[in-house]
Amino acid sequence: AGAGLASQLSELLAAMRRNRFWLLAVWGTSVGAFQCWSASLSVLFAHSPFPAIGDDDMGKLLGLVSNGGTFFGTLAAAPLADRFFRRRFKRFLIIIGVLQVALLAAFSAAVPDKHGKAALPIGALGSVVVLTVASLLFGLGAPVCFELGAELTFPAHEGVSSSAYSFTVNAGGFLLIAVLSAGGSALTGAVSCALMAVVVGLCLVMLLFVPETYPRLTLDSELFDQSCAAVRQLG
C-alpha cells in the first residue's frame, strides 16, 4: 500500500511539472476562493448597503444569484467551449478571466459606502446583474480548466489532473476563509469583492504562461477518423 501511494504521488508530481501544468492548477485556487466567497455573502453583506433591500434579504439575494450563475455557467461550459473555442481553451480562460476581474471590480465599486455613495452608482439591481454575470463566467471557466489540464498532463490518466485541480480548488477556498477570518469586519462588503478581483487577477497572470497542447484531442480525432475509414471499407 505504501509503495502504491508513493507511486501515485510520484506520478502526480511528474504531471504537475509536465507542460507547466502547475501554473494552470493555480487557476483552481481562484475557483475555490470564489466558491467560498459566494457561500459567505450572507455574512459579508450582513448589513445591506442598499436602502431598497433589507439586511436580512441582501446577503441571501447575492448568495442566490452568485451560486445560481455559477450553476448555469457550468452547464453551458462544454457546448460553448467545444463549439467556439475548440483547441483554444487557454484563450477562452483568458477572456473570461479578464471579464471576471472587470466585473468583480465593478461590483466592488457599485457597493455604496457608509455615507451611501458609490464610485459606480448603478444601484442594487445593476449590482446584482453584474454579480450574476461574473458568477456565470466562473461557472464557464471551471470545466474548461479541467479539460485543458487533462491535455497538459497527457498521457497521464485524467484522474491525475483532476486530483491536482481539486486540491488547488480546496486550497483556494481554505486560504480565502483564513484571510477573511483574519481580516474580520475590515474584509466585508465591497472590500471582499475587491479582494476577489485581486485573486482572479493574480491567477490570470499565471495563466498567461501556460502552454497550449492538445495531444488527447488529437489522438481522439485520429481514432475517430480511423473508425470512420474502417466502417466505410466494411460498407
Task: Return the pLDDT at 101.
Answer: 94
Cβ–Cβ contacts within 10 Å for residue 195, how many? Answer: 19
pLDDT in tens, the chain (235 residues): 555 556 666 666 666 666 666 677 778 888 889 988 888 887 888 776 776 676 667 777 888 888 889 889 888 888 888 788 777 888 888 999 999 999 999 999 988 877 778 888 888 888 889 999 999 998 888 888 888 877 777 777 777 777 777 888 888 889 988 988 888 888 888 888 899 999 999 988 988 888 777 767 666 566 656 676 676 777 5
Rounded alpha-carbon distances, angstroms, from residue 102 to 97, 105, 130, 134, 194: 9, 5, 10, 9, 10
Q: Are the C-beta atoms of residues 162 and 16 closer than 8 Å to each other?
A: no
Task: Return the pLDDT at 185.
Answer: 80
Q: Are the C-beta atoms of residues 106 and 79 closer than 8 Å to each other?
A: no
Bond into 51 cis (ω within 30): no
Q: Are the C-beta atoms of residues 108 and 190 closer than 8 Å to each other?
A: yes
Q: What is the pTM of this model?
A: 0.81
